């Protein structure tokens, strides 16, 4: 099972300090990722696991691809959670916060989801919250305007420094930023340029979050990143851990169905 190497990890610290991370037991964080086309033949099986509410959400998608990715993602996640928690699908109930972030009542395990039109991923953690983001690097979009509104001057220089692979560096930094914001539960904020994550060590002022950052959020986070085909994937957690990657496809999906 592939593991994200430790040298692919950066560190961020919030100041002023408010809540030091406790000494969690050393653990392995599981990350599952899927290219939706690889599970096309299992769509009807995975559709069985989603809830009535999720089916209604899926029916609101205009794009058939987006709908298929949503159902495949949520169906597979529910199936894996059923196996971990030894429950039937109807007993796995998601609750959504004000930022539409799903969680399980009482947090018997923590999870987070990311998806695009063609792929998705989710992270499952036993001890603490985690954030995940996955973005396709070859999307046809103008990154220059976004750089000015989403990244600091230091980050912009980092993206443009070599003159090559600037699009990949853009999405690497974007997935880091999105994963961190999802981990701490704020969602996208107004002051994205103040959330700097281009260095090995990064210090972020708590005031950058406009008082949306709960004091219970831990002061430090470790962000792991990996390139998967045409995608960058980043995971943010409050403690160093072993990050294992599992690609689920037609050949191995049966072992993950409850």
Q: Over 80: is that where the pLDDT of 163 sits?
A: no
Q: Rounded distance, CA 9 to CA 128, Å?
A: 18
pLDDT in tens, 234-253: 999 999 999 999 999 999 99
The tokens 């996640």 sit on which residue? 77
Query: Is 59 exposed, middle or buried, given 0-12, 13-18 or 19+ CB atoms closer than 10 A?
Result: exposed
4 phi-psi bin (left φ>0, alpha ψ -120 to 50, beta other): beta
Residues 8, 129, 154, CA angle at the centre, nearest 5°?
A: 45
Residue 227 has pLDDT above 70, yes or no: yes
Q: In this structure, are residues 144 and 156 in contact, taking their beta carbons and an 8 Å threshold?
A: no
Altogether, the residues listed in the chain come to a count of: 258
Q: What is the pLDDT of residue 25?
A: 82
Per DSSP, the three-state class of 37 is helix
CATH code reported for the domain at 7-18+28-256: 3.90.470.20
pLDDT(210) > 80? no
| CA 92/CA 145 separation, integer angstroms | 41
pLDDT of residue 50: 93
Which single residue is written with the structure tokens 């993602």? Answer: 73
pLDDT, one tens digit per residue, over 94-117 is 888 777 778 898 889 999 999 988
Distance CA(79)–CA(248), nearest Å, equals 13
Higher-confidence residue of 72 and 27: namely 72
Query: What is the C-alpha to C-alpha distance for residues 67 and 7, in angstroms, rounded to an integer?
Result: 36
Q: Please state, rounded to an integer, the average pLDDT across all residues of the chain.
A: 91
């Amino acid at each position: 099972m592939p593991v994200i190497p430790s040298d692919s990890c950066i560190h961020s610290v919030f100041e002023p300090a408010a809540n030091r991370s406790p000494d969690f037991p050393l653990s392995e964080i599981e990350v599952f990722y899927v290219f939706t086309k690889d599970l096309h033949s299992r769509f009807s099986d995975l559709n069985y696991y989603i809830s009535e509410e999720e089916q209604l959400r899926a029916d609101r998608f205009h794009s058939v691809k987006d709908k298929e990715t949503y159902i495949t993602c949520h169906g597979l996640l529910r199936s894996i959670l059923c196996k971990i928690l030894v429950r039937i699908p109807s007993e796995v109930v998601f609750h959504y916060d004000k930022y539409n972030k799903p969680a399980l009542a009482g947090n018997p395990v923590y999870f987070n989801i990311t998806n695009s039109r063609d792929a998705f991923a989710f992270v499952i953690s036993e001890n603490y919250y985690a954030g995940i983001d996955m973005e396709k690097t070859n999307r046809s979009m103008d990154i220059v305007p976004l750089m000015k509104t989403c990244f600091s001057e230091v980050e912009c220089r980092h993206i443009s420094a070599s003159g090559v692979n600037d699009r990949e560096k853009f999405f690497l930094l974007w997935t880091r930023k999105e994963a961190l914001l999802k981990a701490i539960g704020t969602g996208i904020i107004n002051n994205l340029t103040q959330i700097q994550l281009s260095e090995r060590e990064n210090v972020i002022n708590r005031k950058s979050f406009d008082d949306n950052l709960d004091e219970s959020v831990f002061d430090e986070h470790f962000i792991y990143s990996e390139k998967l085909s045409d995608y960058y994937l980043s995971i943010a957690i409050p403690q160093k851990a072993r990050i294992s990657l599992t690609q689920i496809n037609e050949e191995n999906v049966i072992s993950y169905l409850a």
